[in-house]
Amino acid sequence: MTETTNNPRPLGRVLRASTASFTAGCRTLEEEMPIFGSLVQAERSDGSAAYGLIYDVRVDDDPFVRQLIAAGDLSEEYVQDQRQRRQVPVEVNVLVVGGRDRAGQVYQHLPPQPPATLSWVTICTAQQVRQFGQRLDWLAAVLGAADAPADELAAAALRQAAAAQGDPSAARRYLEQAGRELARLLSREPARLNGILQRMR
């Protein structure tokens, strides 16, 4: 859910979007592959943004890669060159969990409009993650997501949000607070609650 630098790192651009989710396309090196559970933002031209969590990364093949594989043995240098020059973008699916209005106020409900196609998508900094994660209203949206692996996503996002808190004691307090909120939301689903708590460790 976090990026360690002080500036948001560009991820890619919006390919398609709805109110509840969007897909970004990026051309990325293997070591820079987007991380499951990361908090990202899709900017709008008016200064507002949609915030969301990466829940799936899809690396489709393209016709040229198929031809290369059929051609036989490839050097490592050639493989790396083709990974950097993909003809088909890596697709990153994002579950929308909140946004930022034109005045810079962060909220944790669905934005009034989806991001436009070709809007920049950036990975949020640790500071942005801390600001967004001060409240845990977003957890309900994640737990109710039908198209995402909800329990795994909640645990991954909480681990990354805890890591963004700055020190181990603050991270521990954050996870304890999150555990209490999960217990409230999943009071009738103890097995599910226990599974998420195990994954948060």
Q: Are 59 and 65 in contact (CB under 8 A)?
A: no
Give the pLDDT score at 6. Answer: 66
Residue 151 lies in a domain: yes
Residue 72 lies in a domain: yes
Q: pLDDT tens for the chain, 201 residues: list them.
A: 544 456 778 999 999 999 999 999 987 666 677 899 999 999 998 999 999 999 999 988 777 767 766 666 776 776 666 666 666 788 999 999 999 999 999 999 999 999 999 999 999 999 999 999 999 999 999 999 999 999 999 999 999 999 999 999 999 999 999 999 999 999 999 999 999 999 998
Residue 3 lies in a domain: no
Give the pLDDT score at 28. Answer: 66
Give the pLDDT score at 59. Answer: 85
- Quick one: which of 192, 195, 162, 166 has its CA closest to 177? 162
Q: Are 175 and 200 in contact (CB under 8 A)?
A: yes
Give the pLDDT score at 113. Answer: 93
Give the pLDDT score at 183. Answer: 98
Domain span at residue 168?
9-200
Total domains in the chain come to 1
Report pLDDT digits (tens) over 141-150: 999 999 999 9
Residue 158 lies in a domain: yes
Residue 119 lies in a domain: yes
Give the pLDDT score at 86. Answer: 65
Residue 2 lies in a domain: no
Residue 1 lies in a domain: no
In degrees, rounded to 5, the angle at the alpha carbon of residue 25 between the alpha carbons of residues 30 and 23 is 120
Length of the chain: 201
Give the pLDDT score at 7. Answer: 75
With helix as H, strand as E and coil as C, how does 106-143 read? EECCCCCCCCCCCCEEEECEHHHHHHHCCCCCHHHHHH
Q: Residues 157-176, buried b or exposed e (16+ Cβ, 10 A)?
A: bbbbbbbbbeeeeebeebbe
